Chains A and B, each alone.
Chain A
């Protein structure tokens, strides 16, 4: 009996499940019963964090600073000065780019002062006509990848201008154009440093893992405290969020450089700097540029979230539109965000894959082809704007700048569509909604809430133990213990319930659809393109259409999560199935299996480790969406984090809540990753 238990994992699981059920039945739900709920021992942790943040910000290390206004030296805390100076710098850079695109006076003011600018009304930086920006972007697309990309980029910018979203779009773009390079630079530096030093790597690694899962909102609160509110704060939150993938990919790329290439560099006589800049980084170029692409995507994903702490642009408008339930407008803005995301994604990928021809003998015209083209576009744009000022004597010059919300709008059309859907399907939607909530979601939610804490620990640590031994069990136990000792265990259970339900649906969908699509090269290619495209959408976008259909309910959140989290499930399924070696297929066919048997007995087991990583991603995606879902109303951890944003002392709460969410993710990650690695080893992959 004992022997069988040791051998067979499924017996262990069954035993674990029995214990779990028994525990659930035996333990009485009472607040004084520690087996039911642990006491919130670290309830005061948020307060302690608040205090130390306050101390760091307002008292720690005072330094003498010269204040030009009162012409005296003043005592100011170091950290506050540092954050003030860096905020100022970042804000200046954002404004600079913004004014190149949209015109304005702030950059001039920064150099000359307000008084001078008021006295000299002529000193205004003129906006670039939108035609020049669109044309310039198209030329960039052409230079990087030829005519098709140029056409797409040009059309996308024209769309944005024509639909009256030019100003917020350029505001968003200026924000991304600062946040992305800073993130890339930081990521590169940290990545190289981690590559050079084991110690730094071992410190950075857990931080990177965390950063992947801590909800975006949690970054906002400390940033708000340290840097205040505004574009710069949004940019800094974005940078904090977008740097980790860059670090990760830089490190990965550098590690993949074959040692002999490094040695060839050394034997070529490189010093350390040359080795790094001329050999290692260029050789790791592919991964590093994928990192750049990731950074850009993360920046756009943050556009909406950063607007919560004052970033101007599309994100802000989208939030307002959603709050007023103007779904049509929200949809239009959403399209613009998606367009910018796709444009930047395609441009950066094209750049990553671009190869330069060296030493080609080119004429002046060929060598400066793109500059010449841009010159022509510039002159053309100015002339067009001039003509425009003649045509549109009254009102707006549409060939120069199309003011916000003064373009063509399709809002009424969309709104009518939404109304029609509501009128036509009201009852079926409503009854589906009610059925889902009453029959499925509520029971599951209640089941989660009625788990005694002891049973939860036994179950999760037991799974950890069976899969990964004592180490996994302890890691999971530790992570969950932290959550259990806060006062938010129940909320965490609700978050887990939403994640569990949606991950199950997503995985089922992903595996079934993915498997079907993987049968045929054409459909696999289609589905991968679909994943690529939809992955570039900021998660927020997914909320718009479901809100159209289901209003502000758990159902909306659930559907949005499912749609969003199915993307990685699909991708990893298709990729996993494709990675099954051809010889195995043939071996299967030779032993006479039919299609279904082949799928069940060969393809699934072999590709499962890779798919498991898909589960991991699905969980991460689902978690981030759950938290964002809080914006349209759930009652889990996410909603509290959102609440913390508007509290005066929200730092502690926000951070601890963020950690709770991250720990849920890390616990799941621990199990899945361990298991996947074991399977891979057992199957001799890698």
Chain B
């Protein structure tokens, strides 16, 4: 499944052995450890490991989700890539340029033109209105008032906040505030979009709504996205690939299905154990080869649909259901028994074993 090695040329972001360790002696300790960092040992010496040897690439237009428990280093990793903190060691390339070598000026240019970030606590400027908050990155950049306000108005429409342009952040609900945060981060039309637990501070209902909104925006904009969350459901809904972190280490970085089906470590297995398979797996991972002699229902399902979304229809169809590819050709058949075993069958006979 992994394409990262093959397509390294179109990697927009590349991290090479990135370490971030907090503490006074972080650098010297890291050097003497020769790159093998034991979080426990470092902690005893007064250093906290934020990111431990991160190596990965993010491709143009990809949505990479970074997951892990609280304190596992997700935010720190994001802050390293946006250089809100300086990594202790390693290289981070954006479009082939090593951002750790950039001086302050280049960095500001990079942020003004290429990056946008959404924060968990919204981080709006309390003294500015919705419109001014959104126009802020433009004005900082030196775009004229008129132009920046016009652009900000477009963004207000994009995040469906029309009519509230002149409100102050404190007059908005949490969800509305985060819409402002999203609009602000998009105002300069960034190539790379960082979102650090953007919906964690919201109520579950609003969160769902905002995820939908996010998917809609991503459908329109197709940015390269690094999205931090500790909510697996959210990750499954949104991700192209998922990175799972633990104590600063990226335990596994893969597609949602592979993470569930082939957990690389015990930790990931535990992490994914409770995840309902039907929410992750696509049809093509459970379909049987198409046997033209078999009678199939009129219903057709696309091969890359998530099982959950078609389960009910398949179960009520009465006959095996045809699976089609994007061209509309039948590539397999889906039996209700398979769906039932995914939905109710526990993990003993999940496709997990079949595939491996």
CB within 8 Å of B: which residues of A?
258, 260-261, 263-271, 274, 278-279, 282-283, 285, 355, 357-360
Contact = CB atoms under 8 A, between A and B. Distances in A.
A269 B128 CA distance: 17
10 contacts: A258-B123, A264-B181, A267-B116, A267-B137, A268-B140, A269-B109, A269-B141, A278-B125, A278-B140, A282-B128
Interface in B252-290: none
B168 A267 contact: no
Interface of B (DSSP majority class) = mixed
B84 A266 contact: yes
A264 B137 CA distance: 9
Given A263-B84, A269-B112, A359 B149 contact: yes
B188 A269 contact: yes
> Which of A261, A265, A268, A278 counts the most chain B CB atoms within 10 A?
A268
Contact of A285 (B108, B117, B127): B127
Interface string B112-135: 100111011101111111011000
Given A268-B140, A359-B165, 6 more contacts: A267-B82, A267-B116, A269-B112, A282-B128, A358-B129, A359-B129
B120 to A, nearest CB: 7
A358 to B, nearest CB: 5
A355 B168 contact: yes
B166 to A, nearest CB: 6
A267 B131 contact: no
Contact of A268 (B104, B126, B136): B136
Contacts of B184: 264, 268
B185 interface: yes
B111 interface: yes
Contacts of B116: 267
A311 to B, nearest CB: 36
Contacts of B188: 269
A-side binding surface: helix, strand, loop or mixed? Answer: helix
B166 A283 contact: no
Contacts of B141: 269
B140 A270 contact: yes
Contact of B126 (A283, A357, A359): A283
B120 A269 contact: no
Given A266-B84, A278-B140, A271 B125 contact: no
A260 B125 contact: no
Contacts of A265: 125
Contacts of B168: 355
A357 B127 contact: no
Contacts of A264: 117, 119, 123-125, 181, 184
A258 B120 CA distance: 12
Given A263-B117, A267-B82, A359-B149, A274 B165 contact: no
Contact of A269 (B108, B125, B129, B132): B108
A279 B124 CA distance: 10
B161 to A, nearest CB: 15
Given A357-B166, A359-B129, A267 B185 contact: yes
Nearest to A357: B166
Contacts of A261: 123-125
Given A261-B123, A279-B125, A267 B115 contact: yes
Nearest to A259: B123
Given A267-B111, A359-B131, A260 B121 contact: yes
Q: Which of B125, B132, B194 has the most CB of A within 10 A?
A: B125
Interface string B146-165: 00010000000000000001
Interface in B320-349: none
Contacts of B109: 269
A283 B127 contact: yes
B127 A267 contact: no
A266 B132 contact: no
A269 B137 CA distance: 6
A282 B169 CA distance: 14
Nearest to A270: B140
A358 B131 contact: yes
A141 B129 CA distance: 25
Nearest to B120: A260
A258 B169 CA distance: 15
A360 B132 CA distance: 13
Given A267-B117, A269-B188, A260 B123 contact: yes
Given A263-B84, A283-B126, A359-B165, A268 B119 contact: no
A113 B98 CA distance: 65
Nearest to B196: A260
Given A260-B119, A263-B84, A264-B119, A271 B108 contact: yes
Which 3 pairs from chain A and chain B are nearest by CB?
A: A269-B112, A264-B123, A268-B137
A360 B165 CA distance: 10
A426 B131 CA distance: 70
Contacts of B112: 269
B166 A360 contact: yes
A616 B126 CA distance: 33
Given A266-B84, A282-B127, A285-B127, A258 B121 contact: yes
A263 B140 contact: no
Nearest to A272: B104
Contacts of B84: 263, 266-267
Nearest to A360: B166
**In this complex, which of A263, A269, A285, A357 has the most chain B Cβ atoms within 10 angstroms of its Cβ?**
A269
B194 to A, nearest CB: 8
Contacts of A266: 84, 111
A557 to B, nearest CB: 46
B92 to A, nearest CB: 16
B72 to A, nearest CB: 19
B140 A269 contact: yes
A35 B128 CA distance: 65
A365 B123 CA distance: 36
A480 to B, nearest CB: 36
Nearest to A260: B123
A137 to B, nearest CB: 26
A271 B108 CA distance: 7
Contact of B123 (A263, A274, A285, A355): A263
Nearest to A279: B125
A282 B129 CA distance: 13
B180 to A, nearest CB: 11
Interface string B178-216: 000100110010000010000000000000000000000
Contacts of B128: 282, 358
Contacts of A278: 125, 136, 140
B211 to A, nearest CB: 21
Nearest to A281: B127
A355 B166 CA distance: 12
Contacts of B131: 358-359
A357 B165 CA distance: 11
B99 to A, nearest CB: 13
A97 B135 CA distance: 40
B164 to A, nearest CB: 13
A559 B108 CA distance: 61
Contacts of B194: 267
B166 A359 contact: yes
Contacts of A269: 108-109, 111-112, 137, 140-141, 188
A270 B126 CA distance: 17
Contacts of B115: 267
Contacts of A357: 166
Contacts of A258: 121, 123
Interface in B233-262: none
Name, among B112, B127, B129, B141, the residue most crowded by chain A CB atoms within 10 Å (CB to CB). B127
Nearest to B111: A269
A358 B132 contact: yes
Contacts of A282: 125-128
A360 B111 CA distance: 31
Given A268-B140, A269-B108, A283-B125, A263 B166 contact: no
Contacts of A270: 108, 140
A126 to B, nearest CB: 40
